[in-house]
Structure 1
Amino acid sequence: MTENKPYRPNVGIALFNTSGRVLIGRRFRDDGPEIILPGLEWQMPQGGIDADENPRDAVMRELWEETGAVSAEYLGETDWMNYEFPPYDGPVDHRLAKFRGQRQKWFALRFTGRDDEIDPLTQRNGQPAEFDSWRWERLDRVADLVVPFRRDVYRMVVQQFAEFAR
């Protein structure tokens, strides 16, 4: 009964470099059921909002936890968007078992640091690394690189943040 489960509050991060490309990370291939098709393990950083945490604080925490980057300036944000998780019948303590999907607010940030600041493999705040590699990608390509259940949200993010990709 997916409809009875809540959405997980979440922030998404479109981190733009000075050339207008966004940072994407490749999820570890054994990271669970969210990787459902080979070649679609790429995504922009995202993560849960802690209880009583402001989304703007969460976005900077998640950016640091997942990438190591701290040199970023706020450009803009979206309204809240939802997506549904795929059907899941695995361990009950996995995030896909607890939630219907994610309720996300996406943030556009401009990266002001150097590429060597980005290190997705280091554990931070006791959180395991999620990405085994990263790269800068054209914003208009990212929706084609993610798992299908996230594509509609990615397409909305692409439309709303197109001005920052120039």
Structure 2
Amino acid sequence: MSDLPYRPCAGIMLVNRAGQVFVGQRIDSTLEAWQMPQGGIDPGEDAYAAAVRELGEETGVAPEHITLIAEAPDELFYDLPEDMIGKVWKGKWRGQRQRWFLFRFLGEDSDIDIATEHQEFRAWRWSDPDDLPAMIVPFKRALYEAVLAAFRPHLAADETT
């Protein structure tokens, strides 16, 4: 299956004024794993537009409630475990190649609504960034460590609010 391509995706680290990161539990899994919003980039769509769209689709957060802080300098990749290849995404992809964006959340918790039209999360919370690698499914752990490394200089709490 190593000849399969990677699915192009956008990932979003949404950080609140206290320096905590939004994480959600997938609705299609009983695992205790938590993840940040992410999703596919549509044909002809740029990664930033996909990130803003996916954030809205998964969290209900409107564009006026976010501001871009940083973009990871490189695409980040992960491979699916062997037992999942051919079973997810209609068998078309071996994993994902992702562009990651760090956004500051400017709204209130009441501006977050995971009960969206195509709901992906069954629960959500704010988490300490350093806890992220331990919260994600093991095959994405290295990816989350790379995301943290890329955004660490920007993760301080917003002292102005």
> TM-score scaled by structure 2?
0.89
Partner Cα separation in structure 1 for residue 84 and residue 59 of structure 2: 30
Seq. identity, %: 41
- Residue 43 (1) aligns with residue 35 (2): yes
- Offset of residue 165 of structure 1: 2.2
- Offset of residue 89 of structure 1: 6.0
Question: What residue in structure 1 maps to residue 81 of structure 2?
Answer: 86
Question: What residue in structure 1 maps to residue 11 of structure 2?
Answer: 12
1:34-113 paired onto structure 2 within 5 Å: 38-39=31-32, 41-70=33-62, 71-78=65-72, 79-88=74-83, 94-95=88-89, 97-113=91-107
Is the CA contact 1:120–1:131 (under 8 Å) kept in the aligned structure 2? yes
**Helix, strand or coil for the counterpart of 1:42?**
coil
**Helix, strand or coil for the counterpart of 2:75?**
strand
Q: Find 1:137's aligned residue among 97, 118, 127.
A: 127
Partner Cα separation in structure 2 for residue 97 and residue 22 of structure 1: 31
Query: What's the RMSD between the two structures over aligned residues?
Result: 1.7
Corresponding letter in the other structure for 2:79? E
Q: Which runs of 5+ in 1 are unaligned?
A: none
Is the CA contact 1:88–1:96 (under 8 Å) kept in the aligned structure 2? no
- Offset of residue 64 of structure 1: 0.1
Q: Find 1:161's aligned residue among 151, 155, 159.
A: 151
Is the CA contact 2:85–2:94 (under 8 Å) kept in the aligned structure 1? no
> TM-score scaled by structure 1?
0.86
Corresponding letter in the other structure for 2:23? I
Question: What residue in structure 2 maps to residue 148 of structure 1?
Answer: 138
Aligned length: 153
Partner Cα separation in structure 2 for residue 145 and residue 131 of structure 1: 15
